[in-house]
């Protein structure tokens, strides 16, 4: 390729990157201007359903139409028994969310939902078990303001890799082939993680919870993390003193940026695989 062709390729990449970043910035600004949707306990009356012994679905709030995007919710409540929240009273393809458990030992829960397509009507329901007093003090739903920040982070990462590979392709073909081989091997090793969910093994839930424990402490301004308050219903446990948490800070930061637990863990796995392959390729075969 000529130098003129090289410069044209780089220029096209930069223009596409800047256009996508500008789009993300404009969408982020739009979300910051979006007002929160609030409902209060004046809208709820549980006197007719509590302690009847009958399980029932109770409409807590009807938000109306929702745009496509990610939303963050918070409910402040009081409950004698553990209850559940559900959305639109049934699973529909427009919403990506799981039922939310309202632990009777807590009084506040945050949750996240993804609206895949514009939704004409979005409702929050309580799956009441028929036993125990229950009341809601506040129910908040708002657009996730980090949604397009994550988009811009992905754009920067992808285009940074492309630009580095392009530089190596023109400057050092041998290193380019080595890096390309490492990337291909990493992607092949990552194929089992492309399925939905996470394959569980011995103690996996325990160790995965360490990620959210670190994220919560970082959000509270604690660094480095020694005690994780997420354990034992808020009493906490010095989990970070038992295990080396250095590598887990990466998925913990992703959790703070709003990436789902599955995505954070899988990116952590592919990062570990890539580091292992880099270390293996750099080793002296005669050592």
Indicate if 188 and 272 belong to the same structural domain. yes
- 6: pLDDT confidence band, cut at 50, 70 and 90? low
**For 135-164, what is the mean pLDDT?**
83
Indicate if 229 and 132 belong to the same structural domain. no
Q: Which residue range is the domain that position 60 belongs to? A: 37-144
Query: Is 6 inside a domain boundary?
Result: no
Indicate if 177 and 109 belong to the same structural domain. no
Domain C-terminal end among 124, 144, 164: 144
Tally of domains within the chain:
2
Please answer whether residues 236 and 216 qualify as being in contact, where contact means their C-beta atoms are separated by less than 8 angstroms: no
What tokens appear for 67 in the block?
């745009």
pLDDT in tens, 222-232: 888 888 888 87
Share of residues in the chain with pLDDT > 70 (%): 86
Q: Residue holding tokens 């970070």?
A: 240
**For 118-136, what is the mean pLDDT?**
82
- 253: pLDDT confidence band, cut at 50, 70 and 90? very high
- 214: pLDDT confidence band, cut at 50, 70 and 90? very high
**For 176-183, what is the mean pLDDT?**
85
Indicate if 179 and 114 belong to the same structural domain. no
With a cut of 80, say whether residue 240 has pLDDT above it. Answer: yes
pTM for the full model? Answer: 0.72
Nearest to 92 by CA among 63, 64, 61, 123: 123
Q: What's the pLDDT score for residue 249? A: 93
Query: Is 269 inside a domain boundary?
Result: yes
Mean residue pLDDT across the chain: 79
Output 47 or 166, whichever has higher pLDDT. 166
Question: Which H or E run includes 277?
Answer: helix 261-282
Please answer whether residues 44 and 135 qualify as being in contact, where contact means their C-beta atoms are separated by less than 8 angstroms: yes
């Amino acid at each position: 390729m000529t130098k003129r062709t090289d410069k044209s390729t780089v220029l096209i990449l930069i223009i596409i990157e800047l256009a996508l970043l500008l789009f993300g910035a404009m969408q982020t600004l739009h979300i910051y201007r979006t007002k929160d949707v609030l409902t209060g306990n004046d809208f709820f009356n549980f006197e007719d359903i509590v302690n009847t012994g009958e399980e029932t679905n109770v409409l807590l709030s009807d938000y109306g139409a929702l745009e496509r995007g990610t939303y963050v919710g918070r409910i402040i409540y009081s409950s004698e028994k553990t209850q559940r929240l559900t959305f639109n009273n049934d699973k529909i393809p427009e919403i990506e969310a799981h039922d939310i458990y309202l632990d009777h030992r807590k009084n506040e829960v945050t949750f996240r939902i993804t609206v895949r397509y514009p939704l004409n009507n979005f409702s929050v329901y309580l799956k009441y078990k028929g036993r125990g007093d229950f009341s809601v003090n506040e129910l908040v739903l708002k657009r996730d303001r980090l949604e397009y920040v994550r988009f811009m982070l992905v754009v920067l990462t992808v285009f940074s890799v492309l630009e580095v590979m392009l530089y190596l392709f023109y400057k050092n073909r041998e290193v380019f082939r080595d890096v390309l081989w490492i990337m291909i091997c990493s992607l092949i090793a990552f194929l089992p993680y492309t399925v939905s969910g996470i394959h569980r093994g011995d103690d996996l839930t325990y160790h995965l919870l360490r990620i959210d424990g670190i994220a919560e402490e970082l959000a509270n301004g604690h660094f480095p993390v020694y005690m994780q308050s997420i354990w034992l219903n808020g009493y906490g446990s010095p989990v970070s003193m038992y295990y080396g948490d250095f590598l887990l800070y990466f998925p913990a930061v992703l959790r703070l940026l709003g990436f789902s637990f599955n995505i954070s863990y899988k990116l952590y796995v592919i990062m570990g695989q890539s580091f292992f392959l880099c270390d293996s390729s750099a080793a002296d075969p005669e050592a």
